[in-house]
Structure 1
């Protein structure tokens, strides 16, 4: 009769021990899952940082537009599909006057605002900074004269600029000479030819006094 309590105690102890083991096992599994989740989140964060760094390297730091090389790569892809139908090469008129009158920081503010205006268009265009005060835009449609007038008007609206040393807002009214190369969807001309045509049209606009849009057909 004395053996029965001992057997019960042994069974009880075994059950308690098994329960503790199960609890510890679940705790270890939960900890491993949490650690794995944390490692996954850290990995995703690192990948996100790398993607952001790559994306930033493709953007002009002042205007936020695509760099010249990146724009060229993406433009070539779009041209291969036959979708775009116009290329615009934009050169700001008398931009040196802004720098000499208000200072280079004011000039940077003007370039940044122009970049924002090109970057936030909702017509499916592809915009990039070509260099200095030159910009390039690929349009997915053939613009009519009214479209080009509207484009120029939106781009050259008056802007208020300030600088750290002179916070008093100043009004700058930019103007631009715009060269346009247009072609039919069946033509699919190469990127170098289109850039040359747009550049030629832009230089003709400059020679005529600026604030003008000239067009060449491919």
Structure 2
């Protein structure tokens, strides 16, 4: 290779490196750094795709109950452990038939292709398992709100999220550890 050819390849190499860096940054921006779950933007794109392909899909919102008290009493490391464990439980429950995300704080979201009552019971049971952290067994209660896409007049993700949010707050309002289905 002559000097002129080599000089022509240098800018191409620079652009290739720059492209790789930008791709990694975009991928990182779509993942929550603590839990590894999709952020709102990354999850939304996947959820909309799944809803279009599966009219039997369901959207779930999960909120940790008394998270501030856990954080204040046991420290931020315990709070972070609770968030990571909740993310792992939700990710495992979704498996290959759905996707999970973290909207922020202690609020999580999932969409699955189809939701049976037994599936929801399994999720609720998994979420309510105590968290073992620093030699302690800490309660990890969560409220779950569900919206089945087929029960909406128009299958829109925004409407499903609003209905799941209302169902989640209804579950919190009843003081129940568990889930509630709306729409």
What TM-score do the two structures reach when normalised by structure 1? Answer: 0.70
Residue of structure 2 in register with 1:174 after alignment: 140
Residue 98 of structure 1, aligned match among 62, 70, 83: 70
Distance (Å, rounded) in 1 between the aligned partners of 2:131 and 2:36: 18
Give 1:64 deviation, angstroms. 0.9
Distance (Å, rounded) in 2 between the aligned partners of 1:139 and 1:92: 20
Residue of structure 2 in register with 1:153 after alignment: 125
Q: Please tell me whether the aligned partners of residues 106 and 161 of structure 1 are also in contact (alpha carbons under 8 angstroms).
A: yes
3-state secondary structure, aligned to 2:155 = coil
Residue of structure 1 in register with 2:39 after alignment: 67
Distance (Å, rounded) in 2 between the aligned partners of 1:45 and 1:170: 47
Q: Please tell me whether the aligned partners of residues 56 and 150 of structure 2 are also in contact (alpha carbons under 8 angstroms).
A: no
Distance (Å, rounded) in 2 between the aligned partners of 1:82 and 1:129: 22
Q: Please tell me whether the aligned partners of residues 56 and 148 of structure 2 are also in contact (alpha carbons under 8 angstroms).
A: no
Distance (Å, rounded) in 2 between the aligned partners of 1:136 and 1:44: 35
Gapped runs of 5+ residues in structure 1? 1-28, 30-38, 163-168
3-state secondary structure, aligned to 1:189 = coil
Residue of structure 2 in register with 1:131 after alignment: 104
Distance (Å, rounded) in 2 between the aligned partners of 1:122 and 1:160: 23
Q: Please tell me whether the aligned partners of residues 51 and 149 of structure 2 are also in contact (alpha carbons under 8 angstroms).
A: no
RMSD: 2.9
Distance (Å, rounded) in 2 between the aligned partners of 1:196 and 1:129: 16
What TM-score do the two structures reach when normalised by structure 2? Answer: 0.82
- How many correspondences in the alignment? 182
Q: Please tell me whether the aligned partners of residues 83 and 185 of structure 1 are also in contact (alpha carbons under 8 angstroms).
A: no
Give 1:53 deviation, angstroms. 2.2
Give 1:175 deviation, angstroms. 1.1
3-state secondary structure, aligned to 1:122 = helix
